[in-house]
């Protein structure tokens, strides 16, 4: 993780693809699909996205993100955590 003072260090940028700014609702699904958290996608690329949510401590290292607007799901792994946000890497290839 590349964070300081609860914020992501912009000089530690390591993305391979450019992210597009969005504001979409999504769900973090974990615990064998028995638990979920609501979040907002702030930006997204083919490799991952930045999520905004109240409590990042409850998010496991790996989970499924569900996009209700189109019904898609993608497996994710946490890349970094910051104050009220986290970056995730998609573990599959986009459809």
Residue 32 falls in which region: left (phi positive, over 0), alpha (psi -120 to 50) or beta? left
pLDDT in tens, the chain (95 residues): 444 345 544 434 555 677 899 999 999 999 999 999 999 999 999 999 999 999 999 999 999 999 999 999 999 999 999 999 999 999 997 66
Q: Indicate the domain borders of the chain.
A: 3-90
Report the 10 Å Cβ neighbour count for 82.
19
CATH architecture of 3-90: Beta Barrel (2.40)
Q: Is the pTM of this model over 0.85?
A: no
Length of the chain: 95
């Amino acid at each position: 993780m590349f964070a300081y003072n609860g914020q992501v260090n912009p000089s530690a940028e390591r993305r391979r693809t450019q992210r597009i700014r969005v504001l979409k609702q999504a769900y973090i699904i974990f615990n064998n699909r028995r638990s979920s958290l609501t979040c907002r996608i702030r930006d997204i690329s083919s490799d991952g996205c930045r999520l905004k949510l109240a409590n990042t401590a409850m998010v496991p290292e790996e989970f499924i993100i569900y996009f209700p607007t189109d019904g898609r799901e993608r497996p994710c792994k946490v890349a970094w955590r910051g104050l009220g946000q986290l970056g995730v890497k998609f573990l599959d290839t986009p459809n």
